[in-house]
Chains A and B, each alone.
Chain A
């Protein structure tokens, strides 16, 4: 199946710093990418949907100024957590969907710990 990579896989940072997470589709063009966060033992919570070349659509309750999403190309989307705080500590997962495939392919996730 299609491959989606995510980098970094794990990051620990101090409160107040910004963290950028990259999501890449390695063998297909991702017209749409989704960003999720997941707390332990809970479901995936969709944060935002991004289409290549356009602004991301954020879900209700997700601060767009805090979680900056850029989908600059058909293979790359980035999520930047600005001025991270301990409550932002979570597992962040991206997924990608192409023009042809009906399936979302998930990245391996990024575990963010904010001290």
Chain B
């Protein structure tokens, strides 16, 4: 089985940088994904790490350390519209199989951005 831990809430001000951590305990871990969800909306994919290191996509970056069972999402130049819930999700099996491997989601981190 898998379990993921992430903070329940993070607050920051506009223009700041914020890091949302995610630690996982899994069997057969393969990769870590991050999703953003605004109130009343569905999750949208942000990034994915299968290898150790940093993946950068615009203002958002995601990091993975497999040896530490740890990853984080880094949001730079925060904007009010970044206020949302952020979920990390762990994949248990390699993607290439095309099988119905089942990702596990963390409980989500509510990010509140203040003016």
Contacts and interface: CB of A to CB of B under 8 A. Distances in A.
A49 B105 CA distance: 14
Contact of A103 (B42, B45, B98): B45
B42 A102 contact: no
Q: Which of A32, A42, A104 has the most CB of B within 10 A?
A: A104
Contact of A104 (B33, B40, B98, B108): B33
Contacts of A103: 33, 45, 48
Given A42-B107, A43-B106, A44-B87, A1 B100 contact: no
Interface in B73-111: 87, 89, 95, 98-100, 102-108, 110
A83 interface: no
Interface residues of A, number: 25
Nearest to A101: B95
B44 A106 contact: yes
B87 to A, nearest CB: 7
Contact of B100 (A49, A105, A107): A49
Interface in B37-92: 40-45, 48, 50, 87, 89
Contacts of A42: 107-108
Contact of A109 (B42, B98, B107): B42
Contacts of B105: 43-44, 46
A93 B103 contact: no
Contacts of B48: 102-103
18 contacts: A1-B45, A6-B42, A31-B98, A34-B102, A43-B105, A46-B102, A46-B105, A51-B100, A93-B42, A93-B43, A95-B43, A102-B50, A102-B95, A103-B45, A103-B48, A107-B42, A108-B41, A108-B42
Interface of A: 1, 6, 31-32, 34, 41-44, 46, 49, 51, 57, 93, 95, 99, 102-109, 111
Task: Give 3 closest A-B pairs by Cβ, nearest first.
Answer: A102-B95, A106-B42, A109-B42
